Amino acid sequence: MQLTNFLSAAALAATTFAQQYPIQPVYQFANSFSGLGYVNIENVAVRSTNNQLLLNFATGAIMAQINPDAANPQPEVLVNISSLYQGAPGSLTGIAEVSKDVYIVGAGRFQFGPQVPGGVAGVPGSFQIWSVDLNGPRAVANQVVAIPEANLLNGVAAVPTAPGVVLVADSALGSIFRVDTHAKTYERILSLDVFLPGGGNNFGINGIHLQGGNLYFTNSAQGIFGRVPFGPRGYPGGPAVRIASAPNGTYFDDFALTKNGDAYIATQENAISYVAAGSSQAQIIAGGGNSTTLAGPTSCVLRNGELFVVTAGVGGGPMGPVSGGVFKIAVGAAKKMAKRWFA
Ligand SMILES: *[C@@H]1O[C@H](CO)[C@@H](O)[C@H](O)[C@H]1NC(C)=O
Ligand SMILES: *[C@@H]1O[C@H](CO)[C@@H](O)[C@H](O)[C@H]1NC(C)=O
Ligand SMILES: *[C@@H]1O[C@H](CO)[C@@H](O)[C@H](O)[C@H]1NC(C)=O
């Protein structure tokens, strides 16, 4: 990470005054759940047809669903792509809905462990784009297109003004692929220095979300939350802008945007950061410090003023294995309360 002293001091000062929100557990996965020793949840989306949460696992190419409103939420596996054929993808990454109840996901293989520089890396050549159609009585998963030159497909963003088109971040190449899921074609449309990994961390550009003519992104290795103008057909239209830097000693993963453009960013190793629209400062609003509640937050999504966070857990080491879980933070409710008290 290459933060200047100025930025680090600013981020630190900002965190000192940030309001802290309580984190409520929704579901803790058992280490046995995915059949691989522990569960690493890599991404989350709200399912548009029933308001439940869709979870993409990195431990097994599994999409599960969980109802956070249930008295006793229980996950349900919708599809296990790893089981479809010999050599099928071992992990899922980003997720975006392209048409009613049809989700496009990144899929591929990861290598983990002390022998891998940086601890975790994609397996070059293993990455593909899949669709998961949830309209029928059973989920139907199909490979849309393989992207052999990809090294680590991560965040996926739909382009609502170009039906069937998604943008996909490659964390290792520092690039964005544009995938036409109808034509089953792809092109590498943008590679930038602010997308690159570095400093021993193989994750450069990570989460991506399109809103208001901008593609917002995080870069984990470089500690950047930023944006790039994008046109309605899903092509870039101008230079990248750095919005905020990750608080010192943390790195950004995937994130959620409010309609106003406020960002809630899953912040490794244990926190959620908040960047108000128009602000250049990231504040830790949940977790952080010595908190162990969020073990490796990977992504988050907003639903009716509540932020749902998913975590990777801890794969190994003296603390592991501890599986990931689903957590809830009432960011909207707390903000309303603060207004009532202080306005
Ligand atoms: C940021 O973190 C580094 C490494 O932990 C530390 O050396 C540095 O003093 C920190 N900077 C600030 C402003 O806290
Ligand atoms: C998914 O499929 C893989 C490969 O067949 C299997 O090892 C694993 O147990 C399955 N996991 C679940 C949750 O079904
Ligand atoms: C975190 O833990 C360290 C080591 O146990 C301790 O020195 C430090 O005061 C703790 N920090 C907070 C904010 O509790």
Our answer on whether the CB atom of 12 is closer than 6 Å to any ligand 1 atom is yes
* Other beta carbons less than 10 A from residue 182's beta carbon: 13
Preceding peptide of 321 cis, ω within 30°: yes
> Residue 25's closest CA among 239, 289, 325?
325
pLDDT at residue 11, rounded to an integer = 45
pLDDT at residue 273, rounded to an integer = 98
pLDDT at residue 320, rounded to an integer = 84
Q: Tell me, in angstroms, the distance from the centre of ligand 2 to residue 77's CA.
A: 10
Transcribe 238-283 into DSSP letters. S--EEEEEPPTT-EEEEEEE-TT--EEEEEETTEEEEE-TT----E
**Is 139 a member of any domain?**
yes
**Is 108 a member of any domain?**
yes
Nearest ligand 1 atom, CA 8: 13
Per-residue pLDDT reduced to its tens digit, 249-270: 999 999 999 999 999 999 999 9
Give the per-residue SS3 of 193-254. HHHCCECCECCCEEEEEEECCEEEEEECCCCEEEEEEECCCCCECCCCEEEEECCCCCEEEE
* Domain interval for residue 64: 9-341
pLDDT at residue 17, rounded to an integer = 53
Token couple for 30: 């058992």
pLDDT at residue 118, rounded to an integer = 82
pLDDT > 90: what percent of the chain?
85
Our answer on whether the CB atom of 28 is closer than 6 Å to any ligand 1 atom is no
pLDDT at residue 343, rounded to an integer = 37
**Cα–Cα distance, 102 to 47 (Å, whole number):** 9
Our answer on whether the CB atom of 333 is closer than 6 Å to any ligand 1 atom is no
> Residue 328's closest CA among 26, 18, 19?
26
pLDDT at residue 6, rounded to an integer = 36
Residue 187 burial by CB count (10 A; 0-12/13-18/19+): exposed, middle or buried? exposed
The number of domains in the chain is 1
Token couple for 18: 């940030």
Token couple for 214: 């901008």
**Cα–Cα distance, 57 to 149 (Å, whole number):** 23
Residue of the CA atom closest to atom 7 of ligand 3: 290
Q: Which residues of the chain have pLDDT under 70?
A: 1-17, 333-343
Our answer on whether the CB atom of 77 is closer than 6 Å to any ligand 2 atom is yes
Q: Under 8 Å CB-to-CB from 191, ≥6 apart: which residues? A: 173, 174, 175, 176
Select from 29, 62, 65, 80 the residue to mutate for testing ligand 2; criterion: most ligand atoms less than 8 Å from CB. Answer: 80
**Is 2 a member of any domain?**
no
Residue of the CA atom closest to atom 8 of ligand 1: 248
Helix (H, G, I), strand (E, B) or coil at 149: coil
Widest distance between CA atoms in the chain? 60
Nearest ligand 3 atom, CA 289: 13
H or E, element range at 41: strand 41-46
Residue of the CA atom closest to atom 9 of ligand 2: 35
Task: Tell me which amino acid residue 190 is.
Answer: L
* Residue 21: CATH number of its domain: 2.120.10.30
**Is 173 a member of any domain?**
yes
End-to-end Cα distance, the chain? 39
**Is 181 a member of any domain?**
yes
pLDDT at residue 335, rounded to an integer = 52
Our answer on whether the CB atom of 35 is closer than 6 Å to any ligand 2 atom is yes
Q: Tell me the pTM.
A: 0.91
pLDDT at residue 113, rounded to an integer = 79
Our answer on whether the CB atom of 13 is closer than 6 Å to any ligand 1 atom is no
